[in-house]
Amino acid sequence: MATREPSYRTLRLLCANAVGMGGFVLAFAVAGEFAVALVAALILAAIGYAASSVVVAYAAV
């Protein structure tokens, strides 16, 4: 049976999604405006995607 190197793109996207959703809820609760919350969620999702390399490194061990 051949083994292949796993792709962690899905894991990184899940991390970005979770951080983005959490950021949206928090920003919406604080600011009360949809546009502000959406921008905050996009920024936090990008940061979450970049930071998820730590999660991927842990999962690869």
Q: How far apart are the first and last CA of the chain?
A: 21
The Cα angle at residue 48 between residues 51 and 5, in degrees rounded to 5 = 60
Number of neighbours of residue 52 by Cβ within 10 angstroms: 21
**Where in the chain are the domains?**
9-60
Cβ partners under 8 Å of residue 31, min gap 6 = 37, 40
**10-56 tens-digit pLDDT:** 888 888 889 889 999 999 999 899 999 999 999 988 888 888 888 77
pTM: 0.71
CA dist., res. 58 & res. 51, Å (int):
12
